[in-house]
Amino acid sequence: MTTSTDLDPPRPLELSPALSCFPTRTPTLLPATHTNSYALGSRDVLLVEPATPYEDERREWLAWARGLQSQGRNLVGIFLTHHHVDHTGGADFFAAELGLPKWAHPITASLLQPGASRGTATASIDRELLDGETIILDGPEAESWAVLHTPGHAPGHLCLFNGSTGDLVCGDMVASIGTIIIEPVDGDMMLYIEQLQRLLDLNASRALPAHGAAINDPSRFFAHYIAHRLKRELKVLDALHAVGDSGGVAKDLVPHAYDDTPEALWHLAELSVQTHLIKLEQDGRATRDGERYFRLPGGSP
């Protein structure tokens, strides 16, 4: 976890002639304060992460998008990596203003229905994208982006990978500022670690996260994330052994498993412990009675 903040990021940030980044202020998890939107493509342009719900920021975002149009570029759609409110807060608004369709995974589409998910935005999705599809953006040289379904942080999470440039739009799979929460309602720790490994195996040259700066050594970054999660898993298992035969609920295990984390963050840590416990049960290293988890003999740390 980094402790610096991103209070005033430069924008737009031209990462390459066919890739622009535009961070906007969002209701996100501190120390991050912004979500990066990206414009992919040199002529056809796909806008990624219609994030901001704030009026002043929406005006700036629209001016950026219209600026691309005024360069003769052709906006083709708005892409949502997943349903969380700090990624979707402007989706319907921007789509209506620009007359663009919204693209997302079918699970994200269902979670954005009114009343489907607590504390999130609502939006209607026009084009549902599945793992293995390819998005072709036309231009002087056509650019193709592979659609990857990467559940774990959110069940409908999508990434986009350009095999020619090595650029990977990675949403909330990792962040270069702050931390990624894997919590029991939307998250699945086993899937998350599997999908991080899948992203690592792409050997991308650059990862473009939703929070923080572009990551220039993504495979090492993903490996670090996987190692960090597995190390934490061992601490949760160790905590489970420390409470002995009486077992414990997630909250009981936090002081041991997160003894390196400020107590002010333990309410978030409890959510992560919960998803680690679910994974340990899936792995056959812990068992459960209601909310209470117990060590298993073969599950020693």
The smaller minimum CB distance to Zn ion, of residues 58 and 153, is found at 153
Q: Which is nearer to Zn ion, 77 or 209 (CB)?
A: 209
Nearer to Zn ion, 111 or 137 (CB): 111
Looking at the Cβ atoms of 84 and 232, the one nearer to Zn ion is 84
The residue (of 34 and 84) whose beta carbon lies closer to Zn ion is: 84
**Site for Zn ion (CB under 5 A): which residue of 84, 206, 279, 285?**
84
- Shortest distance, position 184 Cβ to Zn ion, whole Å: 14
Minimum distance from residue 3 beta carbon to Zn ion (Å): 20
> Which range of residues in 78-86, 92-100, 134-142, 283-291 is near Zn ion by CB under 5 A?
78-86
Residue 211 CB, nearest distance to Zn ion (Å)?
9
Among 49, 143, 172, 233, binds Zn ion (CB under 5 A): 172
- Could you write out the three-class secondary structure of the chain? CCCCCCCCCCCCEEEECCEEEEEEECCCCCCCCEEEEEEECCCEEEEECCCCCCHHHHHHHHHHHHHHHHCCCEEEEEECCCCCHHHHCCHHHHHHHHCCCEEECHHHHHHCCCCCCCCCCCCCCCEECCCCCEEEECCCCCEEEEEEECCCCCCCCEEEEECCCCEEEEECCCCCCCCCCCCCCCCCHHHHHHHHHHHHHCCCCEEEECCCCCECCHHHHHHHHHHHHHHHHHHHHHHHHHCHHHCECHHHHHHHHCCCCCHHHHHHHHHHHHHHHHHHHHCCCEEEECCEEEECHHHCC
Is 186 one of the binding residues for Zn ion (CB under 5 A)? no
Q: From the CB of 257, what's the least distance to Zn ion, in Å?
A: 22
Q: Which stretch binds Zn ion (CB under 5 A): 23-31, 77-85, 143-151, 258-266?
A: 77-85
CB 85 to Zn ion: min, Å: 9
Burial 221-256 (b: 16+ CB within 10 A, else e): bbeebbeebeebbebbbebbeebeeebbbbebbbeb
Q: Least distance in Å: CB of 148 to Zn ion?
A: 16
Closest approach of Zn ion to the CB of residue 53, in Å: 15
- For residues 46 and 182, which CB has a smaller minimum distance to Zn ion in the complex? 182
Contacting range for Zn ion; rule: CB under 5 A; set: 82-90, 143-151, 215-223, 238-246? 82-90
CB of 58 or CB of 84, closer to Zn ion: 84
> Quick one: how far is CA 264 from the chain centroid?
23
Task: Give the count of residues interacting with Zn ion (CB under 5 A).
Answer: 2
Nearest CB to Zn ion, comparing residues 50 and 248: 50
Which of 22-30, 169-177, 217-225, 280-288 is the region at the interface with Zn ion (rule: CB under 5 A)?
169-177
Torsion angle in degrees (nearest 10) through CA of 212, 218, 224, 230? 100
Enumerate binding residues for Zn ion (CB under 5 A).
84, 172
